[in-house]
Amino acid sequence: MGTQSFHTTRWTLVRHASNQSPAGREALEELCATYYEPVVAFLRRGGRDSEVARETAHEFFARVLEVPNFGGAEPGRGRFRSYLLGALKHYLSHQRERALRRKRGGGASMVSLDPGTDTSPGIELGDPRALPPDREFDREWALHVLHLATAALAAEWRDAGKGEQFAALQPFIGGDARHGELGALAERLGENAAGLRKTLSRMRQRFRHHVKAQLVPTLAESAEVEDEMRALLTALAS
C-alpha cells in the first residue's frame, strides 16, 4: 500500500473538522499522543527535570486539546510537528510571563517550576555538547517514528508466522551486512542465502512503508511525505 492510499490525513481532518467534533478531537488526540515523548525531550533539554517536564507536557497537551489554535498557531497548515513546536514555545513564553507578573505582584513567595529559558537553562546546566532543544525535539520525534515503524513491521512478520526470521534480520534493516554475515545467518536458519537477501530487501521496503505510514497522518498533504522522510534522516544524523 503506497502513500497514495492515504487520502485524508489526521492533520487534514483536524483542519477541516472542529475540535469539538468527535472525529476532529480523536484525530488531534492521536497526534498529541504520538508527540508526547518529543515534547518531554524538548522540555528536559530546556533545563527541567523529568518530573517537571512530564507535568508541563501534560498541561500543554491539555491546553492544545482545549484550544488548538491558541497563540495564533493555526491547525492544518504545514506539518503537525512544526505547529506543535511553535505552540509549545508560545505556551512556555506565556508561562514565564505569568510567573513574572505574579512575582512582581508581591504577596506570597513563589518558586517557579521553570528554572530557565529555552536558551538559558538556569540552575540545571546541561551538557554543552548536547543538542539544542529544537534539534532534540526533532531527534526524539525521528527515533519515536522508527520505533513505531519497527513495531508495525515486527507485527507483520509475526502474523505471517515468521517472527524468528524478523528477529534475526532486524539488525540488518538499517544498514548493510558485513561480508559473510548473511550467508552465516542463512545457514543457521536453514535457508538459502540468496532467498534471505531477497527477504531482507522486501523487509526494508516494508519498513520504509511503515515509516511513511507514521509520517503521513501528521502532514497537511500526503505528497509532502518524501520531504518529511528527508527531515527524519537529517534529525537522526544530528
Per-residue confidence in pLDDT tens, the chain, 238 aa:
344 344 467 887 777 665 567 888 888 888 888 899 999 999 998 889 999 999 999 999 998 888 777 555 566 567 888 888 988 998 998 888 877 776 665 443 333 334 444 443 333 434 445 678 899 899 999 999 999 999 999 999 999 999 998 998 888 887 766 667 888 888 888 888 888 889 989 999 999 999 999 998 888 777 789 999 999 999 998 7
Q: Are 83 and 111 in contact (CB under 8 A)?
A: no
Question: What is the model's pTM?
Answer: 0.73
Three cell numbers, residue 38: 518529543
Q: What pLDDT, on a 0 to 100 scale, did the predictor assign at position 229?
A: 93
> What is the sign of the dihedral through the CA atoms of 10, 14, 16 and 19?
positive
Q: What pLDDT, on a 0 to 100 scale, did the predictor assign at position 181?
A: 80
**Structural domain boundaries of the chain?**
3-121+131-236
Q: Are 17 and 27 in contact (CB under 8 A)?
A: yes
Q: What is the DSSP string of the chain?
A: --GGG--S-HHHHHHHS-TTSHHHHHHHHHHHHHTHHHHHHHHHHTT--HHHHHHHHHHHHHHHHH-TTGGGPPTTSS-HHHHHHHHHHHHHHHHHHHHHHHHHT-SS----S--S-SS--TTS---TTSPPHHHHHHHHHHHHHHHHHHHHHHHHHHHTT-HHHHHHHGGGTTSPPPTTHHHHHHHHHT--HHHHHHHHHHHHHHHHHHHHHHHGGGSSSGGGHHHHHHHHHHHHT-
Q: Name the one residue in this structure whose C-alpha cell is 537477501.
A: 197
